[in-house]
Amino acid sequence: MPIIDSILIELDQEAATTRRVLESVPEASLAWKPHPKSMSLGQLALHVASTPGRISEIVTSNSFEVPQFTQPAAKTAAELLNTLDSGVAQAKRTLGKMDDAFLQARWSLKRGEQVLFSAPRIGVIRTILLNHWYHHRGQLSVYLRLLDVPVPSIYGPSADENPFG
């Protein structure tokens, strides 16, 4: 079995979970922030929605230059779902073309000539695409709780939803 197949299966499963979380985001609260240093709900939710598509494109080259990063905010709840759906479809197309040799080749994050981080591409996909995505989805679930929005089940029951009961 090609290495990428397990990543694509996980991507599908996690996209369905992420969709449930994004469906819970209240459009009226997109500008809300839990703290002045935090992203707004709209920024965090759009980051979660866009991660699969963005990161899958970044790892197609052998290196990536650290960008000047600003996180735009979603303007509507529908934008979140559309962004997730198109990004996951893009990620599946892009990642699905990667063979084992390409996945095992080194990928680097750079600032000019300085290499900030270098690892096999499959490791970058695991950490920067998937684990990073789950981390921010977890943050998003905390935002929902703080807004008193029912939190959907992610890996098991939440205080609001029990898929087993």
Which CATH number does 3-146 carry?
1.20.120.450
Please tell me the predicted confidence (pLDDT) of residue 165: 82
Convert the pLDDT of each residue in 33-46 to its tens digit. Answer: 999 999 999 999 99
Question: Mean pLDDT score of the chain, rounded to an integer?
Answer: 96
Interval 124-132 mean pLDDT: 95
CA 66 – CA 23 distance, rounded (Å): 31
Average pLDDT on 2-11 reads: 97
Is pLDDT above 90 for 9? yes
pLDDT value of residue 68: 84
CB 122 within 8 A of CB 84: no
Does residue 53 contact residue 88 with C-beta atoms inside 8 Å?
yes
Domain locations in the chain?
A: 3-146
Packing angle between helix 41-58 and helix 77-96, nearest 10 degrees?
10
pLDDT, tens digit, 9 for 90 and up, residues 55-88: 999 999 999 999 887 899 999 999 999 999 999 9
Task: Say what the pLDDT of residue 38 is.
Answer: 97
Q: Per-residue b/e over 26-41, b at no fewer than 16 CB within 10 Å? A: eeebbeeeeeeeebbb
Exposure of 46 by Cβ count < 10 A (0-12 exposed, 13-18 middle, 19+ buried)?
buried
